[in-house]
Amino acid sequence: MIIIKSKQELELMREAGKVTAYILRELEQFMKPGVATIEIDRFVEKTVKEHGMIAAEKGYCGYPAYVCVSVNDEVVHGIPTDERILVEGDIVSIDLVIDNKGYMADAARTYAVGEISPEAKHLIETAEKAFFEGL
């Protein structure tokens, strides 16, 4: 069964999507050597709250952070920490879910930290191409 959303519901979803897109764009600044993954989490927390929304991952099934940050071969839904510091050549995957009065925006993005290997670049490009072809 398909539930048709009202104009108000669609607008709530659109607002959540705009904040999600804004955060993912701004996170590009964080993807540099020396940044702890917890700094990414703090930025997401601050930004989501400033927009009057909720980071839906926080507390979901006990998840302790506002955003999932996975570095290199870490499994998806990595937990940000003070100890995990980005270094040149890392690949960072971000998974973000924002709740705007019960209407969600869910997105993920992969970032390169500085110069990455040709293999890593190929991996990112291939995954992005596959995503858009599947879409």
pLDDT band at 75 (very low <50, low <70, confident <90, very high): confident
Residues 33-68: pLDDT tens digits? 999 999 999 999 999 999 999 999 999 999 999 999
User: What average pLDDT does the chain have?
Assistant: 96
Percent of the chain at pLDDT exceeding 90: 97
- Residue 135, pLDDT score: 86
Using the predicted structure, report yes or no on whether residue 76 has a pLDDT greater than 90: no
Using the predicted structure, report yes or no on whether residue 8 has a pLDDT greater than 90: yes
Give helix 37-50 / helix 7-26 axis angle, nearest 10°: 150
91: CB partners within 8 A, 6+ apart:
71, 72, 110, 111, 112, 113, 116, 120, 123, 124
C-beta of residue 77 within 8 angstroms of C-beta of residue 95? yes
The answer to whether the pTM exceeds 0.75 is yes
- Residue 11, pLDDT score: 97
